[in-house]
């Protein structure tokens, strides 16, 4: 009986370190997930509903910003060459696939800029039009140079940015967003480099939900 108990104890001790490693990895993954979900807002600068980081693309970027860059793979250029703004909610409400949005703006002080829709998983959103973004060269504009992008699953006239096929099932993710917008500005002007929290940006409006 004692021999059997000793054998069991030895087996448990043998699994102790692998189990500890697995628990540590699980805890690290949970910490990273929570940090990416809740903690980034503290290190980012807000400009209306958009937000950016003055350290993205910089050698001085902290470990959290570098982690986001590595995971998303979306923010690769240096800060002097580009600026990136992200938007995942409008007036505090997360972007939803069952809602319609309106993005309005004009030209911006940059050699080239674009607005792209990405799913919550950082990937482009599949759609029948195979259209994922608009830029300053392909937008349909009004006579005054201003433009409007209509965002939603149902086709619309003009600049329509699909975010999935009509009837896309909506997963209940509580306060999480279904997708977000990424604004890229390449060779941006001084206003974006020096005062990114107040520089001119597109406005995004919620038009309705189904």
Encode pLDDT of 188-210 as tens digits.
999 999 999 999 999 999 999 98
Could you state, in order of their start, the residue ranges of all structural domains in the chain? 1-42, 43-209
Report helix, strand or coil for 3.
Answer: helix
Residue carrying structure tokens 């958009």: 50
Q: What is the pLDDT of residues 36-51, one digit of tens each?
A: 444 444 567 999 999 9
Q: At residue 127, does pLDDT exceed 60?
A: yes
Q: Percent of the chain, pLDDT > 70? A: 62
- Given a cut of 90, whether residue 167 has pLDDT beyond it is no
pLDDT > 80? residue 10: no
Which residues face 200 on adjacent strands?
A: none
The torsion of the CA quartet 93, 99, 100, 102, rounded to 10 degrees, works out to 10
Q: Where are the alpha helices (DSSP H) in the chain?
A: 2-34, 63-72, 190-194
Distance, in Å, from the CA atom of 28 to the CA atom of 36, rounded to the nearest integer, reads 12
Provide φ and ψ at 84, rounded to 5°: -130, 130
Q: Measured in Å, how far apart are the chain's first and last C-alpha atoms?
A: 68
Angle CA(182)–CA(107)–CA(51) in degrees, nearest 5?
Answer: 30
| pLDDT at position 122 | 83
Site of tokens 């800060």:
79
The position carrying tokens 């992008």 is 149
What does the mean pLDDT of the chain come to?
Answer: 77
CA distance 18 to 40: 32
Distance between alpha carbon 83 and the CA centroid of its chain, in Å? 14
* CATH number of this structure's domain 43-209, picked from the four choices 2.60.40.420, 2.60.120.600, 3.50.50.60, 3.30.70.980: 2.60.120.600
Top pLDDT among 141 and 78 is at: 141
Residue 35 confidence (pLDDT) above 60: no
User: In which element (H, E) is residue 123 found?
Assistant: none
Non-local (6+) Cβ contacts of 142 within 8 A are: 148
How far, in Å, CA of 114 to CA of 131, rounded? 13
pLDDT at 149: 98
Q: Identify which has the larger pLDDT, 164 or 111.
A: 111
Contacts 24+ apart (CB under 8 A), 189-197: 189/109, 189/110, 191/109, 192/83, 192/109, 192/110, 193/79, 193/80, 193/83, 196/45, 196/47, 196/52, 196/54, 196/83, 196/85, 197/45, 197/46, 197/47
pTM of the model: 0.70
């Amino acid at each position: 009986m004692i021999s059997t108990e000793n054998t069991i104890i030895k087996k448990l001790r043998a699994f102790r370190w692998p189990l500890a490693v697995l628990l540590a990895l699980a805890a690290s993954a949970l910490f990273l997930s929570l940090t990416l979900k809740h903690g980034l807002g503290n290190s980012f600068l807000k400009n209306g509903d958009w937000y950016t980081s003055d350290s993205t693309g910089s050698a001085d970027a902290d470990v959290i910003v570098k982690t986001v860059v590595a995971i998303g793979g979306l923010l690769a250029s240096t800060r002097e060459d580009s600026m990136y703004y992200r938007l995942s909610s409008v007036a505090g409400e997360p972007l939803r696939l069952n809602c319609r949005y309106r993005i309005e703006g004009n030209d911006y002080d940059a050699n080239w800029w674009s607005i792209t829709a990405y799913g919550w998983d950082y990937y482009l959103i599949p759609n029948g039009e195979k259209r994922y973004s608009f830029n300053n060269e392909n937008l349909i504009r009004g006579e005054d140079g201003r433009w409007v992008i209509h965002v939603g699953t149902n086709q619309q006239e003009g600049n329509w940015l699909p975010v999935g096929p009509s009837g896309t099932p909506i997963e209940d993710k509580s306060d999480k967003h279904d997708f977000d917008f990424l604004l890229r500005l390449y060779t941006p002007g001084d206003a974006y480099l020096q005062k990114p929290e107040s520089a001119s940006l597109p406005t995004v409006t919620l038009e309705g939900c189904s």
